[in-house]
Amino acid sequence: MIRRFAAAYGVDMSEAARGLGDFSSFNDFFTRELKPGVRPLADADSFILSPADGAVSQLGTITQGRIFQAKGREFTAAELLGDGAEAAQRFEGGSFITIYLSPKDYHRVHMPAAGVLQSTAYIPGDLFSVNAQTADGVDRLFARNERLACLFGGPVGAFASVMVGAMIVAGIDTVWPHRSSGHGRELVREDFTPDGRQFAAGDEMGRFYLGSTVVLLFEPGRVAWIDGLRAGDPVRMGQAIGQRLKDGQ
């Protein structure tokens, strides 16, 4: 099955640390690690890094609490964060970017900037596909699917990395211990303050088992997306996707 999947989706195994015959299970293959050095990191003192391989679904500004999904469709930051109205208020007027990971992509998720883990919310939900066609056709897609919203604080201020599950997803996992097992029915919030785990930009924070999307939220005055970056553009983990703004300027 692994060989057929790799061939059908055009998985680039030249970047993988192990060969096709070296995986113990399909999930082991799907969450494969990369060879050292194949994803060089941009200068994290100047830039926000892409958290994953994939393609930009949308990017822009959070306006009146709303995040653009596709023409005629949007959802709120509070919904995305699990009705976290207080947390969502911090991001009003800030920046968002949504990155879609296709089946062929590397499926580990990394830190876009240095930060300290403050809290998480596991939000149960649907498992719609998250590809471009579904994003165009399903209202509030990313605020309806199962997801894990992770809040951090760091030199770029508060930011959120929201891992959104999708059709056939077997799990959303993190590098830290957590209480949510996935496919649950109850919202699970966890507080990691005052001694939250510290991460450097580019550190691995989690992984997906099958299809997925990552949504990043930043406070206002912290990030300016790279000129020319548009919906549909491919990105690789570690590349510069945003310019860090110093002192909110």
Give the separation between CA 37 and CA 135, rounded to whole angstroms.
Answer: 33
pLDDT at 48: 98
Sheet holding 171-174, edge to edge: 108-110, 204-209, 171-174
Q: How far apart are CA 210 and CA 131, in angstroms?
A: 12
Rounded to whole angstroms, the Cα distance separating 211 from 237 reads 16
Q: Which of 50, 53, 105, 180 is catalytic?
A: 53
212 catalytic residue (yes or no):
yes
Whether the pTM exceeds 0.75: the reply is yes
Q: What confidence score (pLDDT) does residue 41 get?
A: 98
CA of residue 80 relative to chain centroid, distance: 12
What is the pLDDT, as a whole number, of residue 172?
87
Name which of 246, 235, 207 is nearest 59 in CA terms. 235
| 53 has catalytic annotation | yes
Give the integer Cα–Cα distance in Å for 188 and 185: 9
Annotation marks residue 24 as catalytic: no
C-alpha–C-alpha distance, residues 247 and 224, integer Å: 13
How far is 100 from 135, CA to CA, in rounded Å? 10
The catalytic residue among 95, 105, 110, 178 is 110
50, 95, 119, 212: which is the annotated catalytic residue? Answer: 212
Strand partners, 148: 122, 163
Residue ranges in the chain whose pLDDT is less than 50: none
CA quadruple 59, 62, 66, 72: dihedral positive or negative?
Answer: negative
Tens digits of residue pLDDT in 65-101: 989 887 778 888 999 998 767 888 999 999 999 999 9
